[in-house]
């Protein structure tokens, strides 16, 4: 397991400051706030890892059990639906599509949304080589998938809706509404022109009927976006696509490949008529929100390119704006413009010659002098663009 135990190199900068009694500043801070301190530059034993993670494992197990219970429960509301007008015309043809075989089953969507991101996170360790990056990446992915799944099954159970193939699965027999027992329960024809019924007139498979009453939101879309959007955020951080340099095009393609995968999985549901477009959209929104939330829980930022690659420590707060005590500052896959090679992982400070100190790399983050640039301006004479005898196209 030494693969995940990346030791700092000489170029990585000084080790975290150590007090006279041998205690690092991180450890003192953690103990002061009641935490058991640990360093993220070394791999813990299984017992130590379990000590830090057991509550999350228990919570995920509980949420999974709750989600499964709700998933297998009967739909909570008793929905009414129209079948035919008096002339035999189908009232809502959008619920009368044929039932087709799923292009991508729900188990496959969940499998792809979990296994592919985990595989990519592990592949990133070829250069990152950090146990805690794997830990935070995989746990964050599970946070996203599990919370999104529980969120959507509760909405399905309490709100739901009719799937496009509902009437095909229901196999309604309107004459059942005149059955004495059904009539006594109030399930005879209701509403305007008495064209509305409940599932009691259905003659199809009860399990398929229950499933076809829980269309919104799409579970496929929720899982796909929860997993693949998390992966896209991870790739953006590790490849520094939206950062302080001009990256190669393949990195942009790599970041958006998971987004395309999520869209394809979700869009397939409108082809096989298992969901309406609004079911897919609702699932995509839920999955995306959970992915963003989970990523921010385990990494220092989402969009701030200075920090979004750094896994967070459970024991110590992240020292934004300071390089002191910063761990895994170089935990990036890219090696362009100094990323992944400096101890703090910030290739825009005085160590790289962009500023005199602090974060003044481009004159925008304080501390050091900005890079001098020649202005493009007009001297106002005769409308020609000159500045002390320098042509406009030369002033860049």
Q: Is residue 26 part of a domain?
A: no
Q: Are residues 192 and 282 in the same domain?
A: yes
Domain tally for the chain?
2
Residue 82, strand partner residues: 196
Range of the domain at 267: 37-298
Q: Is the same domain home to 294 and 371?
A: no
> Cα angle at 306 between 302 and 309, to 5 degrees?
55
User: Do 367 and 220 belong together in one domain?
Assistant: no
pLDDT computed for residue 265 by the predictor: 94
**Does residue 313 sit within a domain?**
no
CB 324 within 8 A of CB 286: no
Domain-terminating residue out of 259, 277, 298: 298
Active site residue 246: no
Task: Please check whether residues 205 and 60 belong to one and the same domain.
Answer: yes
337: confidence class by pLDDT, cuts 50, 70, 90: confident
Q: Is the pLDDT of residue 55 over 70?
A: yes
- Write down the catalytic residue from 33, 74, 165, 220: 220
Give SS3 for 202.
strand
Residue 341, domain member (yes or no) = no
Q: Is residue 360 part of a domain?
A: yes
Active-site hit among 165, 275, 276, 309? 275
Per-residue confidence (pLDDT) for residue 323, from 0 to 100: 63
What confidence score (pLDDT) does residue 169 get?
Answer: 92
pLDDT of 30 reads: 52
- Shared-domain flag, residues 148 and 231: yes
Neighbours of 378 (CB within 10 A): 12
Please, are residues 56 and 148 in contact by the beta-carbon 8 Å criterion?
no
pLDDT value of residue 4: 59
Number of H helices, E strands in the chain: 10, 4
Task: Assign 314 a pLDDT band (cuts: 50, 70, 90).
Answer: confident
Does residue 123 surpass a pLDDT of 80? Answer: yes
Domain assignment present for residue 284? The answer is: yes
* 3-state class (DSSP) for residue 381: coil
Q: Give yes or no: residues 279 and 385 share one domain.
A: no
Look at residue 375 and tell me whether its pLDDT is greater than 60. Answer: no
Confidence (pTM): 0.79
Cα–Cα–Cα angle for 137, 140, 142, rounded to 5 degrees = 110
Domain match, 109 and 185 both: yes
Task: Please check whether residues 120 and 233 belong to one and the same domain.
Answer: yes
Query: How long a stretch of residues is the chain?
Result: 396
Write the burial class of residue 262 (CB in 10 Å: 0-12 exposed, 13-18 middle, 19+ buried): buried
Cβ–Cβ contacts within 10 Å for residue 31, how many?
Answer: 13
Q: Nearest to residue 13, comparing CAs of 352, 317, 260? A: 352
Whether residue 293 is found in the same domain as residue 371: no
State both tokens at 126. 């070829």
Computed over every residue of the chain, the mean pLDDT equals: 79
Question: Is residue 145 within 8 Å of 226, Cβ to Cβ?
Answer: yes
Residue 138's closest CA among 329, 298, 357? 298
Calculate Rg over the CA atoms of the chain.
29
- Summarised one tens digit per residue, pLDDT across range 19-41 is 444 455 555 555 554 455 677 77
Q: Is 390 helix (H, G, I), strand (E, B) or coil?
A: strand
Q: Which of 270, 298, 326 is the last residue of a domain?
A: 298
Known catalytic residue: 220?
yes
Q: For residue 132, give the H/E element and its range.
A: helix 131-158
Give the 3-state secondary structure percentages of the chain, helix then strand then coil, rounded to 5: 50, 5, 45
**343, part of any domain:** no
Residues 286 and 362 in one domain: no
Average pLDDT over residues 177-196: 67
CA distance 257 to 344: 29
pLDDT for the residue numbered 294: 97
Domain end point (choices 266, 298, 330): 298
What is the crossing angle of helices 219-239 and 277-298, to 10°? 40
Compute the average pLDDT of residues 360-379: 42
d(CA 72, CA 61): 17
**Domain for residue 213, yes or no?**
yes
- 3-state class of 393 per DSSP? helix
The answer to whether residues 88 and 224 belong to one domain is yes
The answer, yes or no, to whether residue 186 has pLDDT greater than 80, is: no
Asked if 254 and 168 sit in the same domain, the reply is yes
Asked, for residue 387, whether it belongs to a domain, the answer is yes
Mean pLDDT confidence for 109-120: 95
């Amino acid at each position: 397991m030494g693969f995940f135990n990346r030791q700092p190199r000489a170029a990585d900068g000084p080790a975290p400051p150590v007090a006279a009694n041998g205690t690092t500043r991180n450890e003192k801070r953690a103990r002061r706030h009641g935490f058991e301190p640990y360093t993220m530059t070394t791999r813990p034993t299984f017992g130590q890892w379990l000590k830090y993670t057991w509550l999350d494992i228990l919570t995920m197990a509980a949420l999974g059990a709750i989600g499964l219970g709700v998933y297998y429960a009967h739909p909570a509301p008793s929905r009414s639906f129209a079948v035919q007008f008096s002339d035999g015309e189908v009232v809502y043809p959008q619920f009368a599509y044929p039932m087709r075989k799923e292009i991508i089953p729900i188990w496959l969507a969940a499998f792809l949304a979990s296994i592919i991101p985990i595989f990519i996170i592990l592949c990133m360790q070829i250069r990152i080589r950090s146990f805690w990056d794997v830990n935070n990446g995989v746990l964050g992915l599970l946070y996203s998938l599990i919370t999104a799944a529980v969120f959507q099954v509760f909405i399905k159970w309490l709100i739901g809706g009719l799937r496009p193939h509902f009437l095909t699965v229901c196999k309604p027999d309107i004459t059942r509404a005149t059955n004495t027992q059904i009539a006594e329960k109030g399930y005879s024809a209701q509403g305007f022109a008495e064209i509305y019924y409940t599932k009691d007139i259905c003659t199809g498979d009860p399990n398929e009927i229950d499933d076809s009453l829980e269309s919104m939101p799409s579970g496929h879309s929720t899982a796909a976006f929860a997993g693949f959007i998390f992966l896209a955020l991870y790739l953006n951080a590790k490849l520094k696509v939206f950062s302080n340099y001009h990256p190669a095009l393949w990195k942009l393609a790599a970041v958006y490949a998971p987004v395309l995968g999520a869209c394809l999985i979700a869009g397939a549901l409108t082809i096989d008529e298992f969901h309406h477009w609004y079911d897919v959209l609702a699932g995509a929104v839920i999955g995306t929100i959970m992915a963003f939330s989970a990523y921010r829980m385990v990494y220092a930022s989402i969009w701030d390119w200075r920090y979004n690659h750094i896994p967070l420590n459970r024991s110590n707060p992240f020292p934004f704006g300071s390089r002191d005590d910063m761990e895994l500052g170089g935990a990036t896959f890219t090696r362009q413009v100094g990323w992944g090679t400096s101890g703090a992982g910030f290739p825009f400070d005085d160590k790289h010659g962009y500023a005199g100190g602090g974060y003044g790399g481009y004159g925008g983050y304080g501390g050091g002098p900005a890079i001098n640039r020649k202005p493009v301006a007009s001297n106002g004479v005769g409308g020609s663009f000159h500045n002390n005898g320098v042509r406009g196209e030369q002033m860049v």
